[in-house]
């Protein structure tokens, strides 16, 4: 990349790059066909970490998710996300809150995360494959 930036050499340079990486990550982990594509990624302003509030960007945190509907999909997604160590992702420690054994988060040197999340609902637990970028360095 061009010199003169104070950013780390591996910093996320653009929204476009982040859209591609997070959606590629979801496609790598999701078992079967998924239509998630860069244009489907979600943008959250870096200046506003409340995902439900309206904020201004860029820069953005870029994310993508895909729902895992069946138990066999969850098991295959766990196997696939655990294999991402081959691509430089490292398993992150679990937090203090109780979690499900399928939940896990991996992170690479650029700050991208990919993993499996769980949402407890009254009658079931939903699992998703997700990936998220650090803040892009795009500026208005």
Q: Sheet of 104-107: strands edge to edge?
A: 42-45, 60-68, 124-132, 113-121, 104-107, 90-91
Q: Tell me the average pLDDT across 46-55.
A: 62
Q: How many other CB atoms are there within 10 angstroms of residue 117's CB atom?
A: 17
The answer to the question of residue 138 being in a domain is no
Mean pLDDT of the chain: 84
pLDDT given at position 35? 86
Residue 30: pLDDT band with limits 50, 70, 90: very high
The answer to the question of residue 3 being in a domain is no
Q: How many domains does the chain have?
A: 1
The answer to the question of residue 10 being in a domain is no
The answer to the question of residue 137 being in a domain is no
The answer to the question of residue 20 being in a domain is yes
**Structure letter (DSSP) for residue 45:** E
> Is the pLDDT reported for residue 17 higher than 90?
yes
pLDDT given at position 101? 87
DSSP assignments along 72-129, one per residue: HHHHHHHHHHHGGGGGT-EEPPP-SS---TT-EEEE-TTS-EEEEEEEEETTEEEEEE
Domain span including residue 27: 15-132
pTM over 0.85: no
The answer to the question of residue 139 being in a domain is no
The answer to whether 44 touches 61, Cβ cutoff 8 Å, is: yes
The answer to the question of residue 114 being in a domain is yes
pLDDT given at position 120? 87
- The rounded percent of the chain whose pLDDT value lies above 90 is 55
Q: Tell me the average pLDDT across 130-140.
A: 84
> Is the pLDDT reported for residue 4 higher than 50?
no
Residue 98: pLDDT band with limits 50, 70, 90: low
């Amino acid at each position: 990349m061009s010199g003169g930036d104070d950013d780390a050499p591996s910093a996320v340079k653009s929204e476009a790059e982040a859209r591609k990486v997070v959606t590629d990550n979801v496609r790598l982990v999701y078992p079967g066909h998924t239509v998630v594509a860069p244009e489907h990624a979600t943008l959250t302003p870096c200046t506003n970490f409340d995902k439900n509030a309206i904020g201004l960007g860029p820069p953005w945190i870029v994310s993508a998710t895909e729902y895992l509907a069946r138990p066999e999909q969850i098991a295959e997604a766990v196997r696939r996300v655990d294999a991402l160590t081959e691509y430089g992702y490292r398993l992150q420690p679990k937090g203090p809150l109780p979690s499900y054994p399928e939940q896990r988060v991996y992170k690479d040197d650029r700050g991208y995360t990919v993993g499996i999340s769980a949402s407890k609902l009254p009658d079931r637990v939903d699992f998703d494959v997700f990936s998220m970028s650090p803040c892009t360095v795009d500026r208005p």
